[in-house]
Amino acid sequence: MHRADESARSPVGAIGRVTVPIPSDGPGEVLVAVRGGSEAYTAWSATSIGRDERVVVVDSVSARGVIVERLPS
């Protein structure tokens, strides 16, 4: 796979919504708009984030795991 293809598939920078609350000490889940659809990812954050809050993906830790931050209002 070409590096350009990998970046096109990356969820980093995408906006999502929390579907399972993210505690500060463990994972939750987010639904992220990517590749013309929505995909669920296991998500971690430095702070707890409640259900239905909007987030931005800031890093990818695996194919199905991401680091997110609360989207600024």
Has this prediction a pTM greater than 0.95? no
What band does 4 get if pLDDT is binned at 50, 70 and 90? Answer: very low
Residue at 30: amino acid letter: V
Residue 60 Cα to chain centre, angstroms: 8
Nearest to 66 by CA among 4, 22, 5, 3: 22
pLDDT in tens, 13-69: 999 999 999 999 899 999 999 888 999 999 999 999 999 999 999 999 999 999 999
